[in-house]
Amino acid sequence: MIISVVPRRYAQALLMIATERDAVGQYEEELLQFRQALLANPEVKDLLENPRVLVEKKKKALDLLLKDFASPIIYNFLHLLLDKKRENFFLDVITAYNKYADEARNIVNAEVWSVVELTTRDYRNLEKKLAHLTGKKVRLHNIIDTSLLGGIKVKIGDTVLDGSVTKKLSLLKNQLQQTQLKEIGVKK
């Protein structure tokens, strides 16, 4: 998912403040709580994103969502987004902040597809191997894909490591086809 320039700039500014205050994780958690509250209350989300609603009414609605968990920085940050008429970017700012926070903590997200859920032991071993391969801490997400015959497929960023049986069979099939063509003297 590509995040536009506006949410990235706000997220970077918040990350700078969080880094100075050693509160990267705290702000990330508060933003995630806000995201959950916003998504759990679609009528409030619609009210906040409605350009016809006055800013003061939006601030009161925002205050109700934030009252139980927001630190002064997050409170002021989200109010700033309202003041600047950037409330349509709330979710994108949170996504961008999470991405930058992970980069700052040297964490990379990876997806692993398997036919069945990985055992805890396999999960940890794969995390260790991927951490060694990337030089970063790996946050692994297991996706069940019953179309695989066996093995696993891993995606880290734009890199895909395919160790599935389906891929191996496909490679074997190609090898056999090329071998057969060579035996009868056909060159590719």
Give a yes or no: residue 188 inside a domain: no
Find the CATH number of the domain harbouring 38. 1.10.520.20
Give a yes or no: residue 34 inside a domain: yes
Residue 136 has pLDDT above 70, yes or no: yes
Higher pLDDT, 128 or 177: 128
Beta bridge partners of 163: 152
| pLDDT of amino acid 104 | 93
Terminal-residue alpha carbon distance, the chain: 39
CA distance 11 to 134: 25
Give a yes or no: residue 38 inside a domain: yes
Which of 76-85, 106-115, 161-170 has the largest mean confidence?
A: 76-85
Higher pLDDT, 176 or 20: 20
Q: Give the global pTM.
A: 0.74
Whether 82 and 115 map to the same domain: the answer is no
Pair of tokens at residue 38? 């916003």
Give a yes or no: residue 85 inside a domain: yes
Q: Burial, 16: exposed, middle or buried (Cβ in 10 Å; 0-12, 13-18, 19+)?
A: exposed
Tens of pLDDT, residue by residue over 24-55, are 999 999 999 999 999 999 999 999 999 999 99
Q: Which domain holds residue 33?
A: 5-103
Residue 164: which pLDDT band, with cuts at 50, 70 and 90?
A: low
Find the CATH number of the domain harbouring 111. 3.40.30
Higher pLDDT, 160 or 55: 55
| pLDDT of amino acid 157 | 80
Tens of pLDDT, residue by residue over 52-96, are 999 999 999 999 999 889 999 999 999 999 999 999 999 999 999
- Tokens 């409330």 belong to 87
Whether 117 and 59 map to the same domain: the answer is no
